[in-house]
Amino acid sequence: MNPIDLPSSASPINPPGVDGTTERIARALAGVIGSWRLIAAAGLGAGIITAALVLVVPDRYESSFTFVPQTAASGAAARAPLAGLAQGLGLSNIAGALSGSTGSDYFAAVLDSRSLAERVLLHPFAKGTRLRNPDATNLLIVLGADADHFERSLDGGVRAFGNILNVKTDPVTHVVTVSVQLETPELAQQVGDITLRELDKLNDDINHRLAVAQLDFVSQQLRQAGTGLYAAEDSLKNFQLANRTVASPALAFEQSRLTRKMNNAEALYQSLTQQYQQSRLDAVKDLPSFAVLDPPNKPSLRAFPKRRRAVTVAVVLACLTAGAAVFARSLLPSSADPSADPVRIIQQAVALAAAEILSSYRRVVGRNQ
């Protein structure tokens, strides 16, 4: 809408304190107010288009579960050697998590691993699971697996699983929250249950592998320490048998050196013996474990798309864009009389817009008074 024309009685001289810039801004604001029909139409059109788009977007439902890590004191002491063993076994992400300060880092790394993704993707669904694809027996098929290219489908499924799985950790309470977004509430809850079960199994498997590797390493070191201790004892025994009396300083120094060597070998052997016993205990128990706070739920509300929010944002943005466009256009030089009171210009624009809105309202509701 063009800027409102001033009445012919407008003063040809600007009021005191009013310059050309203020007058142009006033005319631009008046143009925005007078163009309320255009702005409203732009917002309404954007809302209708957005509503139509969000209606065809597939729905997503979110199922979530929470748990808190429970790490024993012995497990905390064993983090450093376990991190080195995990690195040696090729579990670089697990090694990084074990070297961290909290158990939640460990579980976040496990949830982000390819091993867990493959386990969840190939885990068979329970009987009676309601799916849009009745032939789907696991999540990989739901995500669109190609039977002729299994490896490529598995790679794509791992990437897709990373998009539907969201992991959050609380640095204060160390509570881990895991959410899964899928097309139906039943499927989201089913995949959440599978993820929780496979996480527990993978955690046990990782702990067993690390504990067994640690036990083998300590056993090897213990055998070597035992051999070194026996050799030190034999050296001291042979020296004492060959020198029943230590009369010279050189013999006394040699006896002291052999005794010190045997004592060091004995201390190392005793330390490794204690580690060996601890490793045997760790091999038959879980080091990092967790307690489930909230099991996977069956969502009743849609997580995506947020239709009301999307339409509201679209309407507001369209109205703001249209208003900004009208305002910018009204700032351009005009052939209208540039000499006018800015306050009067805005008052006239508001009065005219209010009259038009009231007239439109009366026509809609059928009132002519």
CATH code of the domain containing 231: 3.30.1890
Whether residue 3 is contained in a domain is answered as no
Are 47 and 165 members of one domain?
A: no
Are 49 and 173 members of one domain?
A: no
Are 212 and 96 members of one domain?
A: yes
> What was the pLDDT predicted at 165?
92
Whether residue 279 is contained in a domain is answered as yes
Element spanning 207, H or E: helix 185-242
Q: How far is Cα 188 from Cα 179, in angstroms, rounded to an integer?
A: 9
> What was the pLDDT predicted at 12?
43
Lookup result for tokens 């979110």: 62
Q: How far is Cα 109 from Cα 66, in angstroms, rounded to an integer?
A: 16
Whether residue 91 is contained in a domain is answered as yes
| Amino acid at the residue 198 | E
Instruction: Give Rg (Cα) of the chain.
Output: 39
Give me the DSSP letters along 278-334: HHHHHTTS-SEEEEEEEPPP---S--B--HHHHHHHHHHHHHHHHHHHHHHHHTS--
Are 227 and 123 members of one domain?
A: yes
Q: How far is Cα 113 from Cα 92, in angstroms, rounded to an integer?
A: 10
Count of structural domains within the chain:
2
Q: Which domain covers residue 131, as residue numbers?
A: 61-294
> What was the pLDDT predicted at 365?
65
pLDDT per residue of the chain (369 residues) written in tens, 0 to 9: 444 444 444 444 445 444 567 877 887 788 778 888 888 888 888 888 888 887 777 778 899 999 998 753 334 444 555 555 555 545 555 555 455 445 788 888 899 999 999 999 999 987 666 666 677 788 888 888 776 788 888 999 999 999 999 999 988 888 999 999 988 888 888 999 999 999 999 888 888 888 788 888 888 888 888 899 899 888 888 888 888 777 788 888 888 898 999 999 889 888 888 888 887 777 666 555 788 899 998 887 777 677 788 888 888 898 888 888 888 877 765 544 444 556 666 667 777 777 777 777 677 666 544
Are 71 and 41 members of one domain?
A: no
Q: What is the reported pTM?
A: 0.58
Q: Which residues contact 150 (CB under 8 A, 6 or more apart)?
A: none
> What was the pLDDT predicted at 48?
87
Whether residue 233 is contained in a domain is answered as yes
Whether residue 171 is contained in a domain is answered as yes
Q: How far is Cα 362 from Cα 369, in angstroms, rounded to an integer?
A: 8
Are 34 and 124 members of one domain?
A: no
